[in-house]
Amino acid sequence: MSASALGGAARAVCRQDPDLPLPGRGATRARWRALAAIAARDVCLVKVLEAHYDARAILVELGGALPAPDRLLAVWAAEPPDARLEFTQRADGTGTVSGRKAWCSGAALVDAALVTAHAGDARVLVCVDMRQPGVVPDGDDWHAVGMARVHSGSVRFDDAPAVRIGDAGAYLARPGFWHGGAGIAACWFGAATAIAETLRRHPGLEHQAHAAAHLGAIDTALHAAAALLRETADAIDAQPDAPHVEAVMRVRSLLERTATDVIDRVGRALGPGPLCADAAHAQRCADLATFIRQSHAERDWAAIGRAAGTRSVGWAL
């Protein structure tokens, strides 16, 4: 699927499935299964749609108005030190945003975005229409091979009208911030299963002991990852008012390692052939390798380790 067709494909999915079950409402497993299925189809497509469905969940949680289902949304919350957005607010909650926002995935595809900005000393979430004057995506700062179709460069805002969503600080304070982050792991799982299928369906596998061994290791890892995803989803549904920070970091960390292992093992088992002759497989590997870098890697491992060191019980069945 080309970059130009990606937006249309995403809108088609939205028309078919206007909303996914909200996280923490008793059907988090179903939400994550849907995301995994989209990821298995196309990693770039799920990158766009996961953000869209996350934005709709955020609007429900923070009391914002839901737009038409096929109006594509994004969520941009990265705040590196060299990119800052300022929100000048009026009494009614509307206002304007100015500055530069980095890591704006799908800026050329979406109709509106939920964007973090600064209002004095407070951090706020605002909704900005992308189809208006004063909003200019930078077309020259995205050179990715993986995720090439989802331009994720910066956007310049110049007194662009915006509407505040929720109270100051509410976006990060809500438990759903973490619940949504776990949904990313479900996307990684779905993409990893699609890559693994290239090996599982390889002809003559029963005669290639090393390839079979790699598939066995992949099968074991994916079963463990699926089990932890289900456990985490059930925990979120059982206690939706808790952020489940450690559980979310743990499942994201496991899926990042699992996805890395799947890409590596399929390559070791089959050699360069599929990466050179199977365009869909090669693109999926490149896309997923880029997507999982959204993981916080060792930073999350360190946080998990510090938390484990303070528990009264280490590990138990």
Q: What distance in Å separates the CA atoms of residue 243 and residue 254, rounded to the nearest whole number?
A: 18
Q: With H, G, I as helix, E, B as strand and everything else as coil, classify residue 316.
A: coil
The DSSP secondary-structure symbol of 164 reads E
Q: What distance in Å separates the CA atoms of residue 287 and residue 40, rounded to the nearest whole number?
A: 12
Write out the CATH class of domain 72-168.
Answer: mainly beta
Predicted structure pTM score: 0.96
The CATH architecture assigned to 1-68+175-309 reads: Up-down Bundle (1.20)
Q: With H, G, I as helix, E, B as strand and everything else as coil, classify residue 156.
A: strand
Structure tokens at 39: 């990821």
Domain spans, the chain: 1-68+175-309, 72-168
Q: What are phi and psi of 64, to 5 degrees?
A: -85, 160
Q: Which of 111, 124, 117, 122 is nearest to 56 (CA)?
A: 111
Q: Which of 276, 294, 292 is nearest to 198 (CA)?
A: 276
Amino acid in the structure at residue 104: C
Q: What distance in Å separates the CA atoms of residue 135 and residue 162, rounded to the nearest whole number?
A: 11
Q: What distance in Å separates the CA atoms of residue 89 and residue 132, rounded to the nearest whole number?
A: 18
Pairing of strands 73-76, 112-119: parallel
Tens digit of pLDDT at every position of the chain (317 positions): 787 799 999 999 999 999 999 999 999 999 999 999 999 999 999 999 999 999 999 999 999 999 998 899 999 999 999 999 999 989 888 999 999 999 999 999 999 999 999 998 899 999 999 999 999 988 777 899 999 999 999 999 999 999 999 999 999 999 999 999 999 999 999 999 999 999 999 998 888 999 999 999 999 999 999 999 999 999 999 999 999 999 999 999 999 999 999 999 999 999 999 999 999 999 999 999 999 999 999 999 999 999 999 988 889 88
Q: What ranges in 27-134 are assigned the alpha helix state H?
A: 28-41, 43-62
Pairing of strands 135-137, 85-89: unpaired
HEC assignment per residue over 220-258: HHHHHHHHHHHHHHHHHHHCCCCCCHHHHHHHHHHHHHH
Pairing of strands 135-137, 73-76: unpaired
Q: What distance in Å separates the CA atoms of residue 47 and residue 39, rounded to the nearest whole number?
A: 8
